[in-house]
Structure 1
Amino acid sequence: MRAKKKNYTRTDQLITKITAWIAGIIVLILVGWGCISLWDLYHYEETNDAQVEEYINPVTSRVTGYIRSIKYEENQEVKKGDTLLIIDNSEYKLSEQEAEAALLNAEAQIRVMESNEQTTAKVADVSQSQIASAKAKLWKQQQDYDRYLKLFKVESATLQQLENSKAALEVANSEYKSALNSYQASVSKVNDIKSQKDVYLAEIKRREALLKRNKLDVGYTVITAPYHGKMGRRTIQEGQLIQAGQTLAFIVDQEAGKWVIANFKETQIAAMHLQDKASIETDAFPGEHFEGRVVSLSPATGARFSLLPPDNSTGNFVKVVQRIPVKIRLTDGHQAEKLRAGMNANVIIAKHQ
């Protein structure tokens, strides 16, 4: 036994002690790490299936034409109302001028119609006065005829005188009827002109709408930024023919802010609520944490919104844990400016017990 003890030198003993201490420290670290992991597992939900999102909208053309000039560069920041590109508007200007001329013509025709209406109304007034004159003349001839008829019966007037009086009466009656018909015709013509006037007024409204449409087309040849944002990749060139509805560029909406879509397992969302605080760390900025709040939970799993949602009743069933998209709004907008849409992120949300 003494021989064996003598085989352990002081160096061996020192190495043994150091090794024991190191092993003990490692065990303590592992225990501490295990405790922290269990604490986090019990109090927090975490996922690395998350990405930063922003609204990325296409910039489209409302008219067809050739690009005259492009006023932006790739990845350029723009403000709302900044001109992005200009389309050749020569043809649309000609259409606008044609619509203006057509509107002026319709307005001139309505003025002519109003003048004819006034003239015809005056003619009707004259015809109405002629009715009164013809009526008075008819009354006088009727009186003369009645007088000659009485005289003829007592043989104080000749038959010729009676016939002349009757002829004059018939002429006066015809003139009276003619005056009435002339007045009615004038009134009808005034009504016809009023009806035609309504047609021309409707035509003027149509021409005005057509002119506004042409002015809109001319305005559409200047494409501006719809909001503050940042342009994406540029794929168009000056002189290129573009079609109405064609996508010309993409713009990132900086006014709407940024958010994170975190896809948590269905077993993790039971204790999540709206407005819960979330801590976000991105792969691009390790060690830097971004604050956010839960603003919504998806009404269905991500698989249900896919192009071909799974149908477990059509074949063999294999249970797979589904993911629920959770939208988290970044609360510190200034700090979140460095983030870009599509960046990977890790999200931690405290559990509610």
Structure 2
Amino acid sequence: MNIAVDDKTAFQHEHESVIQQLMHERKQRRKRTLILLGGGAVLVGAVAFGMYWMTVGRYLEQTDDAYVRADWIPISPRISGYVAQVLVEDDQPVKRGDVLVRIEDRDYLARLEQARAELAETEASVAAQQANLQVTDSLIAQQKAGLTQADARLRSAHAERRRASLDEQRYEGLVREHAASAQRLESAAASYAQANAAVEISQAMQRQQDTRLNVAITRRQMAEASLKQKIARRSQAQAQLSLATNALEDTLIRSPIDGVVGQRKVRTRQYVAPGLPLLAVVPTQQAYVVANYKETQLRDMRAGQAVDISVDSYSGRKLKGHVVSFSPGSGAMFALLPSDNATGNFTKIVQRFPVKIVIDQHDDGGPILPGMSVITTVDTHPAGQGDSHD
């Protein structure tokens, strides 16, 4: 009976050993299967990553040293005076041409009226001088007519003297031949003397008319010079009127662009002077991105390449953009105290160059404000410039 029990126990041990061996073999097969599957997955992943890197990844240049910028405009007055009214509040949207600040205009209105009066005075002076010039022209015409008349009288006197001279010569011959009386000769001689005197009088009158004409011409030249002087004064008065008009218009300080008011420092009754900053207008709709890329990342970058922009303020909100331009120098070149590496202790540092990126479209996910941090990814693929990848 003990032999039967021992046989039964041995059989049970042998059975359990077989079962354990089968389970061990199953575990080994499962382990090998898992290893093969894992290796296959790793291989597929490596191949997929390699293909992605070869086709896309190696063309993507990314940096988190990027910020939103905008060409905001500081607003300052062109004239001095006391602020009468501030018409905008902090962070208020404004349109181009909207009045931001109004300066008291009493003095500038008075200057405008003074300029208008001076212009009216100079215009009247010009008109009077033009009338004087016309009178002088009429006088010149009259003197020319008188000179023509004097020339005619002189020619007539010369003709009369010639006739009298011929009569005197003819009567002298007749008297020698006793064909005429001495009285007729004396009468002919007197006529010749009168004709000679008439010639001298006509010549004197001609010289007098010629002198008067010269005086009239000189007077016209003086009147013409005076007219030019008065026209110059009128031009000066017109310029003063334009300046006064511009100064009056400058009492209304307007927004030069569409944007949002910021840095509002101006207050009512404050005295302002030209160049004093009052506030700023920020064109938020014209915001762009400046990304500082390492110099080793610029090799394949070109203007026009597509850019993915991730905004930190909106949990990675995605925007589309494109590269516009590159800075002509690194940030260190334009620093207040640029570094000088011509020293004994030299440490090479990779430089960063600002790259300007324009945002192509603005969605309704919230405003993109200057100063926000972003992450930019430039697609430098030579055949796919402008096609960005998520």
Is 1:184 matched up with 2:214? yes
Q: Per-residue displacement from partner, 1:167-214 (whole Å, max 9, x unpaired)?
A: 333222211211122123223322332333233223322222221122
- Please tell me whether residue 283 in structure 1 is matched to residue 299 in structure 2: no
* 1:333 and 2:333 are equivalent in the alignment: no
Residue 300 of structure 2 is matched in structure 1 by 271
- How many residues align structurally? 324
| C-alpha contact 2:284 2:370 (8 A) present in aligned 1 | no
How has the CA–CA distance of structure 1 residues 106 and 254 changed in structure 2, closer, same or farther, with 3 Å as cutoff? same
How far, CA to CA, are the matches of 2:75 and 2:81 in structure 1? 15
CA offset at residue 315 of structure 1? 4.3
- Structure 1 unaligned blocks of 5 or more: 1-23
Partner of 1:167: 197
Between the aligned residues of both structures, percent identity stands at 27
Aligned counterpart, 2:250: 220
Change (3 A) 1:307 1:151: same
1:22-41 mapped onto 2 (5 Å cutoff): none
Code of the residue aligned with 1:208 in structure 2: it is Q
Q: Do residues 344 (structure 1) and 373 (structure 2) align? A: yes
Q: 1:126 aligns with which of 126, 129, 142?
A: 142
Shift of 1:143: 3.5
How far apart in 1 are the matches of 2:346 and 2:62?
28
Aligned mate of 1:197, from 203, 227, 236: 227
Q: Is the 8 A contact 2:79 2:251 kept in 1?
A: yes
Q: What is the one-letter code of the residue matched to 1:64?
A: S
Q: Distance in 2 between matches of 1:58 and 1:101?
A: 37
Partner of 1:250: 280
Letter in 1 for 2:115: A
Answer whether contact 1:290 1:336 (CA < 8 A) is retained.
no
Q: How much does 1:297 deviate?
A: 2.4
Question: 1:306 offset after TM fit, Å?
Answer: 1.5
Deviation at 1:98, TM superposition (A): 1.7
Which stretch has the larger CA shift, 308-317 or 63-72? 308-317
Larger radius of gyration, structure 1 or 2? Answer: 2
AA paired with 1:260? V
How far is the alpha carbon of 1:300 from its aligned partner? 2.0
TM-score by length of 1: 0.82
Offset, 1:294: 1.9
Give the one of 44, 47, 66 matched to 2:60: 44
Aligned match of 1:208 in 238, 243, 256? 238
Q: SS of 1:209's equivalent?
A: helix
Are residues 297 and 131 of structure 1, via their aligned partners in 2, closer, same or farther at CA, if it must alter by over 3 Å? closer
Matching residue within 110, 116, 129 for 1:100: 116
Greater CA drift, 120-129 or 134-143: 134-143
> C-alpha separation between the residues in 1 aligned to 2:311 and 2:246?
45
- Please state whether the residue corresponding to 2:296 is helix, strand or coil: coil
Is the CA contact 2:257–2:281 (under 8 Å) kept in the aligned structure 1?
Answer: no
Q: Which residue of 2 aligns with 1:19?
A: none
Look up the SS of the partner of 1:72 in the other structure: coil
**1:308 matches 2:324:** no
* 2:342 partner SS: helix
Shift of 1:163: 4.4
Q: What corresponds to 2:128 in structure 1? A: 112
C-alpha distance in 1, partners of 2:194/2:123?
Answer: 56
Structure 1: distance between partners of 2:328 and 2:142 = 81
SS at match of 1:333: coil
Residue in 1 aligned with 2:17? none
**2: CA distance, partners of 1:262 / 1:121:** 77
Is 1:151–1:157's contact at 8 Å kept on the other side of the alignment?
Answer: no
Alignment match, 1:71: 87
* TM-score scaled by length of structure 2: 0.74
Distance (Å, rounded) in 2 between the aligned partners of 1:243 and 1:55: 24
1:56 counterpart residue number: 72
Query: How much is the aligned-residue C-alpha RMSD, in angstroms?
Result: 2.9
1:146 is displaced (CA, Å) by 3.7
Could you tell which deviates more after superposition, 132-141 or 75-84? 132-141
Unpaired segments ≥5 residues, structure 2: 1-34, 173-181, 383-390
Q: Following TM superposition, by how much is the alpha carbon of 1:252 offset from its aligned partner in structure 2, in angstroms?
A: 0.2
Match of 1:89 in 2: 105
Matches within 5 A, 1:221-240: 221-240=251-270
Question: Is the CA contact 1:120–1:190 (under 8 Å) kept in the aligned structure 2?
Answer: yes
